[in-house]
Homo-oligomer: A and B are copies of this chain.
Amino acid sequence: MTTRVDIIEVSPRDGIQNEKTLLSTQTKLELIDRATAAGIRAFEVTSFVNPKRVPQMADAGEVAQSLKKRSDTRYIGLVLNERGFERARLSGLEDVNCVVVATETFNRRNQGVAVDDTMADIARIAAMAHDSGVRMGVTIGAAFGCPFEGEVTVERVTEIAARLAELKPFEIALADTIGVAAPSDIKAKFSAVAREIGGIALRCHLHNTRNTGLANAVAAIESGVTRIDSSIGGVGGCPFAPAATGNIPTEDLVYMLDRMGVETGVDAQALIDTAQWLGAMLGVSPPGMLQRAGMFPPAAGAAA
């Protein structure tokens, strides 16, 4: 098993996109600053989507342009089409992530077109990214189950992954968008996809909807995945997935990985403070559990 995992902090995008309270651009930048100070070195910073559909992302360009960039940190913009890619590129981002959903029904709800149309969009974006020196990753959404079509087969996911691999993306993520996977599902699909895509890096995006999130993260790591998406406080959820809940909480993941001897470079205690701050900004009680229970063992001098 790997001894190092790179956490991709998605709270500025997936984490807040479904929240009713709109955060100011300054607050989003502060979130990224705080997470950077805690050791996070990869972010999904925003998404370049229709602000009418996702009002929280209306300031995508401003967020991207205002980042205090570090050379050792990835700043990824989510894009769903060529127009989104152009906005991301013009905002100075050097990392974009595209999405194709594994099922026709959910892809139409999420992107408004058929899977094949989205695949064609991604091929065009791949060409544009190549020409402009931008790194492009792709997430396969609902790879472990769809709220509309139910189970998604291993074959369906590997077929999409194989087609994407021809575009030579920087990474391919499998997303458990609605949080239905068990560790066995994670191992089966990541192993099968790894066989299809050669040396392309794998990334794992989990939601803790049915309490299996951290178990699935362990399964992903045991399957060779070294890039895991998570969200400070576990905030988040897809606006187009019914009953979707948050991403796995970054600080809970870091706590677990620390005890397992898997290095992340991230300070869990600093993230507890940020989770509570983010909850206050959003006016919610984040589902993350470490920020309620506290570190173990407690710091010297702390009350039991």
Contacts and interface: CB of A to CB of B under 8 A. Distances in A.
Interface of A: 145, 147-148, 150-151, 178-185, 208-215, 217-219, 242-243, 245, 248-249, 252, 255-261, 288-290, 292-294, 296-298, 303-304
Nearest to A216: B215
A212 B256 contact: yes
Contacts of A209: 289, 293
B260 A182 contact: yes
12 contacts: A147-B304, A150-B298, A180-B296, A183-B256, A210-B293, A211-B248, A211-B249, A211-B252, A211-B289, A214-B214, A245-B289, A245-B293
Nearest to A293: B209
A211 B210 contact: no
Q: Which secondary structure dominates chain A's binding surface?
A: loop
* Residue in A248, A260, A288, A304 with the greatest tally of chain B CB atoms within 10 Å: A304
Given A212-B256, A215-B256, A256-B212, A296 B178 contact: yes
Contacts of A260: 182-184
A260 B215 CA distance: 12
Contact of A218 (B145, B210, B218, B249): B218
B297 A256 contact: no
Contacts of A290: 210-211
A208 B289 contact: yes
B296 A145 contact: yes
Contacts of A150: 296-298
Contacts of A215: 214-215, 217-218, 256
A293 B179 contact: yes
